[in-house]
């Protein structure tokens, strides 16, 4: 199993993709260990000076003006954890939970949180032994951080929550004992440091962005295959057209489409039998998908920064022995990123459905109605297009921006919140729906190409071969459910995207 080292500074998108996609082990760099210890020393120094310090010996939120006596300081940290661990709804998956834990470790490793090295090592031990806190997905407004879901992480560490062991949820005290671990006793600031932070919303947004990028790669390949089936023109993909607009994503998608169709027998046929101008669903693929690519690239930059960011409060500055209260826990950057990904997902599905509809319309496609040899007796892809239309509408409804729906909390003290967490949580469901749309188009595109009987380019021939290895011709009606299920598996597993590796 691969071991990843987390350090101060940016750990890089490759780290987070690896944590999400694979089981890995984590370790801290020497620099991170020093940074954590220095921040803890500052907390001790500030406590020794005396006086009220937010989050250490005061109440929280609206009760920040309440000073806690010395004998209540440790109880304060436990109380903030157990009272916030009230989440509801479906629990996060194992891969999502690992990503949350790794990002929290990375944030604490920056050396501005003031926790003990023992706490970070304990959390890393849980990660490496796959002792995963059970984290309900609902209950965070994305400001003061992801308080409720992160409280479930902290609760598991102190023996008060639930831990998933090999997929089975157990009381954390029992799970820790079985692993030979003693629950942590939280020290000053540690409870608040664990709860404040944007790690849950960031992890969920990042998983959505990762899967959306794979879906985009699939959509470009499937779009190229549909272009062939419809004898679409590749002239609109000519590099000069896109260079003078200067949009990098558009330039890149046009390049991929040219590479995917190069050397195909469909090209000569398109010149003699194609249209003077194609509908936008074919002609504007570089413009639409390129814009999606640019958006996903910008989202990656935001989330890569946020994954290693110090987003708890207050923040420790060891170089000056200061503890300052700020608002880095406000997840507005993540909320905007999640909203952007949701919009891109919608557009990917919308264009795919339009190409599918064009293939079923004999007046536009030049193919048999609904891609069936005996229309009337057979319905062919009629129901496929109907289902795709329904899924496009479903994703549009889910794409309403979460970031504009602030609801004040804590008697108007925390009066503007990001709603990043549920804005990010919807993304995987939306990508799953998008992949279902793309799978339908994939089947129709392969069927359309078979109707033409021409030779495809090498990369698209591989795609068609993969489909036909699992799905027979669909030009006559039969029970189509297994065919659709097989195509969904090809798209969702990344098999289609992987076949375009040479041009992507």
List residues with catalytic annotation.
54
Return the bridge partners of 4, or none.
Answer: 26
Beta strands in 49-165 (DSSP E): 88-91, 131-133, 136-138, 162-165
State whether residue 336 is helix, strand or coil: helix
Q: Kindly give, in sequence order, each residue whose CB lies less than 8 Å from that of residue 4, ignoring residues fewer than 6 positions away.
A: 11, 15, 18, 19, 24, 25, 26, 27
Q: Is the separation of the CB atoms in 311 and 303 below 8 Å? A: no
Instruction: State how far the Cα of 78 lies from the Cα of 160, in Å rounded to an integer.
Output: 10
Nearest alpha carbon to residue 125 among 56, 189, 182: 182
- Expressed in angstroms, the distance from the first to the final Cα of the chain is 28
Q: Tokens 């540690």 sit at which residue?
A: 190
The sign of the dihedral angle between the CA atoms of 116, 134, 433, 141 is: negative
Q: Is the separation of the CB atoms in 214 and 497 below 8 Å? A: yes
Nearest alpha carbon to residue 55 among 43, 45, 42: 43
Q: Tokens 């069936």 sit at which residue?
A: 372
User: Which letter, b or e, does each residue of 160-169 get, where b requires 16 or more Cβ atoms within 10 Å of its Cβ?
Assistant: bbbbbbeeee
Instruction: State how far the Cα of 492 lies from the Cα of 87, in Å rounded to an integer.
Output: 29
Q: Can you read off the two tokens belonging to residue 182? A: 């003693």
State whether residue 64 is helix, strand or coil: coil
Q: Can you read off the two tokens belonging to residue 437? A: 């749309």
Instruction: State how far the Cα of 80 lies from the Cα of 78, in Å rounded to an integer.
Output: 6
Instruction: State how far the Cα of 38 lies from the Cα of 111, in Å rounded to an integer.
Output: 7
Instruction: State how far the Cα of 98 lies from the Cα of 96, in Å rounded to an integer.
Output: 5
Cα→Cα distances 303→163, 204, 421, Å:
27, 10, 13
Q: Is the separation of the CB atoms in 80 and 58 below 8 Å? A: no
Return the bridge partners of 324, or none.
Answer: 315
Instruction: State how far the Cα of 105 lies from the Cα of 2, in Å rounded to an integer.
Output: 17
């Amino acid at each position: 199993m691969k071991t990843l080292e987390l350090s101060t500074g940016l750990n890089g998108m490759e780290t987070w993709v690896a944590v999400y996609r694979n089981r890995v082990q984590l370790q801290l760099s020497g620099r991170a260990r020093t940074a954590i210890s220095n921040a803890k020393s500052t907390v001790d120094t500030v406590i020794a000076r005396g006086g009220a310090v937010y989050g250490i010996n005061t109440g929280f939120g609206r009760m920040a003006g309440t000073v806690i006596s010395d004998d209540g300081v440790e109880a304060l940290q436990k109380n903030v954890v157990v009272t916030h661990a009230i989440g509801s709804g479906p629990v996060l998956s194992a891969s999502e939970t690992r990503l949350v834990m790794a990002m929290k470790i990375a944030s604490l490793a920056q050396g501005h949180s003031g926790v003990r090295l023992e706490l970070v090592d304990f959390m890393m031990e849980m990660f490496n032994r796959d002792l995963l806190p059970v984290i309900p997905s609902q209950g965070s407004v994305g400001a003061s951080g992801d308080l409720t879901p992160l409280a479930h992480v902290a609760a598991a560490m102190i023996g008060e929550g639930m831990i998933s062991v090999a997929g089975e949820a157990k009381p954390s005290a029992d799970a820790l004992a079985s692993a030979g671990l003693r629950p942590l006793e939280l020290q000053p600031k540690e409870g608040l440091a664990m709860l404040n932070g944007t790690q849950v919303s960031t992890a969920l947004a990042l998983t959505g962005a990762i899967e959306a990028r794979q879906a985009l790669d699939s959509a470009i390949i499937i779009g190229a295959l549909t272009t062939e089936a419809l004898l679409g023109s590749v002239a609109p993909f000519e590099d000069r057209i896109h260079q003078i607009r200067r949009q990098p994503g558009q330039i890149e998608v046009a390049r991929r489409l040219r590479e995917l169709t190069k050397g195909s027998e469909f090209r000569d046929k398109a010149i003699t039998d194609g249209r003077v101008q194609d509908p936008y669903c074919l002609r504007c693929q570089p413009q639409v998908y390129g814009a999606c690519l640019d958006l996903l690239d910008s989202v990656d930059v935001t989330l890569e920064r946020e994954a290693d960011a110090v987003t708890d409060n207050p923040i420790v500055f060891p170089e000056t022995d200061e503890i300052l209260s700020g608002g880095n826990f406000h997840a507005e950057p993540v909320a905007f990123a999640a909203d952007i990904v949701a919009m891109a997902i919608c557009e990917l599905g919308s264009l795919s459905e339009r190409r599918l509809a064009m293939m079923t319309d004999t007046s536009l496609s030049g193919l048999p109605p609904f891609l069936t040899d005996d229309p009337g007796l057979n319905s062919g892809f009629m129901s496929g297009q109907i289902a795709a239309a329904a899924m496009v509408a479903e994703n549009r409804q889910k794409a309403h921006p979460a970031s504009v729906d602030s609801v004040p909390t804590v008697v108007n003290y925390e009066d503007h919140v990001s709603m990043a967490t549920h804005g990010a949580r919807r993304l995987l469901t939306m990508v799953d729906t998008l992949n279902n749309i793309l799978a339908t188009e994939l089947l129709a595109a392969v069927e359309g190409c078979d109707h033409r009987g021409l030779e495809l380019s090498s990369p698209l021939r591989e795609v068609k071969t993969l489909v036909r290895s699992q799905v027979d011709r669909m030009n006559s009606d039969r029970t189509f459910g297994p065919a659709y299920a097989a195509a969904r598996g090809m798209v969702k597993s990344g098999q289609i995207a992987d076949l375009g590796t040479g041009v992507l």
